[in-house]
Amino acid sequence: MKKDIFDDRHEAGRLLAQRLAHLGEEKPIVLSLPRGGVPVGFEIAKLLKAPLDVILVRKIGVPGQPELALGAVVDGTRAHTIVNHELMDTLGISEDYLRQQTENQLAEIDRRRKIYLGDRPYLHISGRTVIVVDDGIATGSTVLAALEAVRRADPQRIVLAVPVAPPESIKQLSEQVDEVVCLMTPAWFGAISRFYIDFHQISDDEVVAYLTARAPENATSAATPPAE
Cα separation, 181 vs 102, whole angstroms = 31
CB 142 within 8 A of CB 33: yes
Q: Angle between the 37-48 and 204-213 helix axes, to the nearest 10 degrees?
A: 10
Cα separation, 57 vs 73, whole angstroms = 6
Q: What is the mean pLDDT of residues 180-207?
A: 94
| pLDDT mean across residues, the chain | 90
State which CATH number among 3.40.50, 1.10.260, 3.30.1310, 2.30.30 fits the domain covering 58-117. Answer: 3.30.1310
Chain segment 84-106, per-residue pLDDT in tens: 899 999 999 999 999 999 999 99
Beta strands in 96-144 (DSSP E): 129-133
State residue 80's pLDDT score.
79
State residue 222's pLDDT score.
40
Predicted TM-score (pTM) of the model is 0.88
Closest CA to 57 of 142, 177, 147: 142
Chain segment 108-152, per-residue pLDDT in tens: 999 998 999 988 888 899 999 999 999 999 878 889 889 988 998
CB 34 within 8 A of CB 55: no
Cα separation, 209 vs 180, whole angstroms = 27
Strand order in the sheet with 129-133: 52-54, 29-32, 129-133, 157-164, 179-184
Which residues make Cβ contacts (< 8 Å) with residue 93, sequence separation at least 6? 62, 63, 70, 87
The domains of the chain are located at 9-56+124-218, 58-117
State residue 141's pLDDT score.
80
CB 70 within 8 A of CB 90: no
Q: What is the mean pLDDT of residues 23-47?
A: 96
**34: DSSP letter:** T
| Domain 9-56+124-218 class, CATH top level | alpha beta
